Chain A
Amino acid sequence: MAPEGGRVRLKASLAACCCFAMACAGAAGDVTATWTVEPTPPSVEVAALVRCALEQRDGTPVIGARLRLDAHMTHPGMAPIVGDLIERSPGIYESRLKFSMAGSWALVVSGELVDGRRIVKQTEVTAVQPSG
């Protein structure tokens, strides 16, 4: 490997890594999400109410965001459950979803804030109970 070619490849790799890191960090990193899922623990028999409260660092609720909720089985390859999050009160977004399988699920809220910034927040529901 020619030294010059190797240096170019190393710089390109580092640049790609930085882009990834920056893009992830820049996704509304100043917004915090607080999650509740009812009932606790959730089960496959009953639709769960997922509530996501978004607020700025200073505690101001994040209003008017256009959000969707994706519920992924933690194992890749499974069909996710998708739903829209409706803002029920300032900064409080809700969705109902019925888990299709017992086990661990990852909930991801994604969308856009009113200022156009993308937002992605996630949490995990570790113990969805089976039926019966």
Chain B
Amino acid sequence: MDLLRLPILGSMLRWRHIRVSLQIVMLVIAASVVVHGLFGPQIGPRNLATVLTSIHWRGLLVIGLLVAGNVFCTACPMILARDAARRIAEPRFSWPRRLRRKWIGIGLLILVLFSYELFDLWELPAATAWVILGYFGLAIVVDVLFKGAAFCKYVCPIGQFNFIGSTMSPVEVGVRSHDICRSCRTSDCIKGQRSVIQPLHVITRGCELGLFLPTKAGNLDCTLCLDCVHACPHNNVALEVRLPGLELLQTGRRSSIGRLLQRADLAALAVVFTFGALVNAFAMTAPAFAMEHRLATVLHVQSEAPVLAALFFMALLLIPVALLLGATAITRLVGGNPERSIRGGLSQFALALIPLGLGMWLAHYGYHLLTGLLTIVPATQSAAIDLVGTAVLGEPLWGWTGLPPGSVYPIQLGFLILGACGSIALVQATSSRDYPERPTIAAAPWLVVIVALAILAIWILNQPMDMRGLGGIG
């Protein structure tokens, strides 16, 4: 089913200004967040900066990935800012070939997760506002220097998170007819539509992430900008409904990505995505606080930074490497395909973790969204008081939060189990393809890993929360 052909939704999505409209809305929200973050009350639950980012933005982002696709990249307000900056200074450089992998984005994603825990950003509105401003600044600097969407493709940590998560999305941009593509001589989908009189002048932008539609496969590196839809002169671009996750089993060469099995960076991103979900949730619990105390004693330190660094090193590098290399080695040994490289096996099976990772992000961020959905009301009422001095929107209804935590637990479990089932299915499909003689035995080590991680995730969800923050005194 092609969503672009549906009566109302299709017309909306094909509207030339749909993306800019969404981006303007997000820009206004971002501006409100920054202003209230800098000038409003410095208490997390009472400030739009922390409420909207920690509760609504994070929750809607992961739910959006599950039910639609990379919609937050579609509506990213930073693109508006960098487009405005590009009117002043056009980029002259191409992104360095040596850096055309995800390692910078992965490093920044880890830095974001680490900083969130170290500085307790959930309770620091001003810091949150400065992070947002810094983010805008970085996006502008990178994209004013480098052509295309270099920031989105290689730098933006949220973008890398979204790209990996969108492999589980139910829609994908693709071509309607490959015959039409074969007869096309202008490749507008990637080059853009150019003026006949001034060939260097681009009327309609093509894919800035370098995805050539006839050979594009899956959602990796797709920001769902729909520039290709508007650029294609043959109306040959579709937004197809598809089976989530199936793209991870495609081993052929795909536009701008190459072969998945040869992309160690994408495998690493999948690992960070999955184990990062566990760490991010675990860090909010009482056992995490107790573990930090024990680590501090062992390391003879007082400061939280080295303790958190040790925790992150173990959780995002040491344990995953040990677990996944071990599983790969056993699979290679018992699977009856000794020629298969360790790197190739690890890369393929690591991608199978993504459904479980998304399940954990959904369980965690979905919990905060559902239990705190209505907090936007009192936070907005309070912001109005801060702005005007009187309760123009009424006295803040601080008791308005959301669903009771107990009622959300089954939903969390559902997300986790769904994710685990998705990972198990991918492992079995991978094993059947790569180890056809002994698929079940070959899959066994990875099934153990997934079940163990799922049990760990459920254990984390059952731990009491214990949020220790730095805080500010007013």
Residues of A within 8 A of B (CB): 1, 13, 16-17, 19-24, 26, 70, 72-80, 82, 101-104, 106, 108, 118, 120-124, 126-127, 130
CB of A74 within 8 A of CB of B466, answer no
B41-63 residues with Cβ-Cβ distance < 8 A to A are 41-46, 50-51, 54-55
- 9-residue interface stretch from B274-282, B397-405, B434-442: B397-405
Query: A77-B375, A77-B402 are known contacts. Are A72 and B44 too (CB-CB below 8 A)?
Result: yes
CB of A77 within 8 A of CB of B466, answer no
Among residues of B, the one whose C-beta sits closest to the C-beta of A121 is B474
A75: which of B36, B42, B44, B388 is its contact (CB, 8 Å)?
B44
Residues of B within 8 A of A1 (CB): 84
Among residues of B, the one whose C-beta sits closest to the C-beta of A73 is B467
Residues of A within 8 A of B387 (CB): 16, 19-20, 23
Query: A17-B35, A23-B385 are known contacts. Are A75 and B54 too (CB-CB below 8 A)?
Result: yes
CB of A82 within 8 A of CB of B399, answer yes
B185 to chain A, nearest CB (A): 37
Query: A101-B466, A126-B468 are known contacts. Are A78 and B123 too (CB-CB below 8 A)?
Result: no
8 shortest interchain CB distances as A-B pairs: A77-B372, A20-B39, A124-B471, A74-B123, A122-B474, A103-B467, A72-B45, A104-B469
CA distance A13 to B423 in the complex (A): 48
Residues of A within 8 A of B369 (CB): 77
CB of B84 within 8 A of CB of A74, answer no
CB of B36 within 8 A of CB of A76, answer no
CB of A80 within 8 A of CB of B43, answer no
A-B contact pairs, 29 of them (CB 8 A): A17-B35, A19-B388, A20-B387, A22-B389, A23-B387, A72-B46, A74-B123, A74-B469, A75-B44, A75-B45, A75-B54, A75-B284, A75-B467, A76-B45, A76-B368, A76-B375, A77-B402, A79-B371, A80-B45, A82-B398, A101-B465, A101-B467, A102-B286, A103-B466, A106-B43, A106-B45, A122-B41, A122-B43, A124-B473
A81 to chain B, nearest CB (A): 10
CA distance A59 to B55 in the complex (A): 41
Residues of B within 8 A of A106 (CB): 43-46, 123, 471
CA distance A101 to B140 in the complex (A): 42
CA distance A86 to B191 in the complex (A): 70
B55: which of A72, A77, A121 is its contact (CB, 8 Å)?
A77
Among residues of B, the one whose C-beta sits closest to the C-beta of A35 is B473
Among residues of A, the one whose C-beta sits closest to the C-beta of B368 is A77
Residues of B within 8 A of A124 (CB): 469, 471-473
CB of A130 within 8 A of CB of B35, answer no
Query: A102-B464, A106-B471, A124-B471 are known contacts. Are A76 and B44 too (CB-CB below 8 A)?
Result: yes
A74: which of B36, B51, B471 is its contact (CB, 8 Å)?
B471
Query: A78-B401, A102-B464, A126-B471 are known contacts. Are A17 and B286 too (CB-CB below 8 A)?
Result: no
B125 to chain A, nearest CB (A): 10
Q: List 5 extra interface pairs beyond A22-B389, A126-B469, CB under 8 A.
A: A26-B389, A75-B45, A76-B55, A77-B45, A78-B45
B19-45 residues with Cβ-Cβ distance < 8 A to A are 31, 35-36, 38-45
CB of B399 within 8 A of CB of A79, answer yes
A27 to chain B, nearest CB (A): 8
Residues of B within 8 A of A70 (CB): 398
Residues of B within 8 A of A101 (CB): 464-467
CA distance A51 to B284 in the complex (A): 29
Residues of A within 8 A of B55 (CB): 76-77
Among residues of B, the one whose C-beta sits closest to the C-beta of A68 is B398
B41: which of A26, A75, A120 is its contact (CB, 8 Å)?
A120
CA distance A123 to B379 in the complex (A): 18
B122 contacts A by Cβ under 8 Å? yes
B386 contacts A by Cβ under 8 Å? yes
CA distance A118 to B385 in the complex (A): 10
CA distance A102 to B55 in the complex (A): 20
A130: which of B286, B368, B471, B474 is its contact (CB, 8 Å)?
B286
CB of B54 within 8 A of CB of A16, answer no
CA distance A88 to B43 in the complex (A): 27
CA distance A101 to B469 in the complex (A): 14
B240 contacts A by Cβ under 8 Å? no
Query: A13-B31, A123-B474 are known contacts. Are A130 and B466 too (CB-CB below 8 A)?
Result: yes
Residues of A within 8 A of B123 (CB): 74-76, 104, 106
B120 contacts A by Cβ under 8 Å? yes
CA distance A130 to B293 in the complex (A): 15
Among residues of B, the one whose C-beta sits closest to the C-beta of A128 is B466
B412 to chain A, nearest CB (A): 14
CB of A74 within 8 A of CB of B467, answer yes
Query: A24-B386, A76-B51, A80-B398 are known contacts. Are A127 and B39 too (CB-CB below 8 A)?
Result: no
A76 to chain B, nearest CB (A): 5
CA distance A78 to B31 in the complex (A): 25
B130 to chain A, nearest CB (A): 15
CA distance A9 to B214 in the complex (A): 43
Query: A20-B39, A78-B45 are known contacts. Are A127 and B472 too (CB-CB below 8 A)?
Result: no
Residues of B within 8 A of A120 (CB): 41
Q: Mark B374-394, 1 if CB is under 8 A from A, else 0.
A: 010001000001111100000
Among residues of B, the one whose C-beta sits closest to the C-beta of A123 is B473
Residues of A within 8 A of B31 (CB): 13
CA distance A79 to B407 in the complex (A): 14
Among residues of A, the one whose C-beta sits closest to the C-beta of B42 is A122
CA distance A120 to B474 in the complex (A): 9
B168 to chain A, nearest CB (A): 25
CA distance A93 to B210 in the complex (A): 64
